[in-house]
A and B are shown apart, each in its own frame.
Chain A
């Protein structure tokens, strides 16, 4: 077992108040948990294998190197076209005659509803609990670099999507892998598309489903008291079933409208807490910068902070993973690259803004125990994570941090977590379905099969304990990134061609804004 896995085991262990419900809930939960852990173990070990002789997981390096290469290859596109991306989202370049089609704003917010969620609340807490506040620095850096990965994949997703005669669209990495490789005369595009689709289905069932159900249950149980996880799972499964199988769109539509406001409320509450403790902002940023390079006594030192920061950023904003590309592919635009520009705002909002808010609140709240003499963080008994007030971790740590400043906020947070979890599940059910139909063909029977499997995994996710679920969720999502980034290296020249062409026409005034 490598360092990261040990650390995660410890995180799961100190998450006892959170996951105790699932762990103590009786034989059914225990059986589900044990069976799940044994089945997924080898896959998890492969994805998180460290470089020989180090504790550095190769997958983290894979993501960082990918994002850095895309950033350099496109000449820091995330900064050069930031202003243009904002104008596109505002609709300045939208043709009024296309009114009624999916707008850039809608594609962006739909993709965001799949990424903003537990990764921002629970994931950040896990990163800081294990890697210390310094993990935040690496998380922000990963977010900024990830903007270029997102730009690349979303441009391709729109360019190579399938448009059917009835007007519906299907797009995503599996489509650009197959069509893009064929366009370049390269072999293997079809194989990569199949691999990606398999991992996307696993990711949809893991991070997009089980992790969400698991943490939503933990939140509800934290308020109502212990009860078996499968009960939450069944309730969630029934509601999700009603939406994705029963076609009761009202539930999803209401959620889609409520979730953005919960997001704004979350950021608003974070800002209030940060401003209430304005005298500690300097110290918090000091801890973030100092911790980024020294670790401030955290197990694993700065490498531990770096690993956690990059990992949780990737898990949260999914840049390079390819999931959001499926959502962005639905936009109606004559210029695929415009959706790439818009999508680069996603890691910025998700990671650089929202995750940083969570990190600052946790750091400022005093939930992380510091040795007053040395100024270093005190580790827990196992020595693998920072000791916290009340031994909390994950979403419970975030909740405690908010609760220390606004006593009633944990209740709002609980509602937000449940809604975020639900919204993420709905988004990922669509991503998984697109991968499924890519493999098995479009059709009612095929779609229903996937949707039924998806609902069953909600129950499993709610019943299993945090450890195996978080391993599997991470592993499946990162496996998507392995295939996706590999394909992007070959296809990025197509994006650069689009970028150069668009930039030339923009400068020449051929692409005009409709709103001035």
Chain B
């Protein structure tokens, strides 16, 4: 049975470290697939204007396309080019909750994320999000420094 590892990317250098570590682990495991995930931070309980709501579906599609194009697809290509199996996905939601949900849905053995990065994803992961992930995850979490 194929072992699955979920890798959380942030679009920065630290995310690449997580991907590099996951790739190394995948080689050691052998039959392994990397699920490369990018989470767009989003809360259903935020406050929006009527105009933002009307545009929301369009923006969501654009956010997914942009994340796939700029972050996820290049990472997946990098991994598959090296002979490993990998799949990419983009989800909206709370970073730690969504990574945990993905790990459950995929039946993953482990979640691998980077500890720090600069801006963007880093702010979300730095501190509470990483802690939440480590505290709440039902599978082992590796935090790459």
Contacts and interface: CB of A to CB of B under 8 A. Distances in A.
Given A96-B101, A105-B45, A114 B50 contact: yes
Contacts of A257: 47
Given A100-B92, A426-B49, A105 B44 contact: yes
A259 B48 CA distance: 11
Contact of B47 (A96, A101, A256): A256
Interface residues of B, number: 26
B51 interface: yes
A116 interface: no
A43 to B, nearest CB: 26
Interface in A297-355: 326-327, 330-332
A96 B92 CA distance: 9
Contacts of B42: 99-100
- Secondary structure of the A side of the interface? helix
Contacts of B47: 106, 109-110, 113, 256-257, 259-260
Contacts of A106: 44-48, 53
Q: Which DSSP category, helix, strand, loop or mixed, fits chain B's interface?
A: helix
A252 B51 CA distance: 10
Contacts of B91: 99-100
Contacts of B46: 106
B40 interface: yes
Given A94-B44, A99-B98, A326 B50 contact: yes
A169 B47 CA distance: 18
A17 interface: no
Contacts of B44: 91, 94, 99, 103-106
Given A96-B101, A99-B91, A168 B58 contact: yes
Interface residues on A, range: 35 or more
Nearest to B42: A100
B56 interface: yes
A101 B55 contact: no
A101 B48 CA distance: 12
A166 interface: yes
Nearest to B98: A99
Nearest to A261: B47
A58 B52 CA distance: 38
A321 B53 CA distance: 21
Contact of A168 (B40, B45, B55): B55
B8 to A, nearest CB: 16
5 contacts: A103-B44, A106-B45, A113-B47, A252-B49, A332-B57
Given A100-B60, A100-B91, A105-B45, 20 more contacts: A99-B42, A99-B44, A99-B91, A100-B42, A100-B64, A100-B92, A100-B93, A102-B56, A106-B46, A106-B48, A106-B53, A109-B47, A110-B47, A113-B47, A114-B50, A168-B54, A253-B49, A256-B48, A426-B50, A431-B50
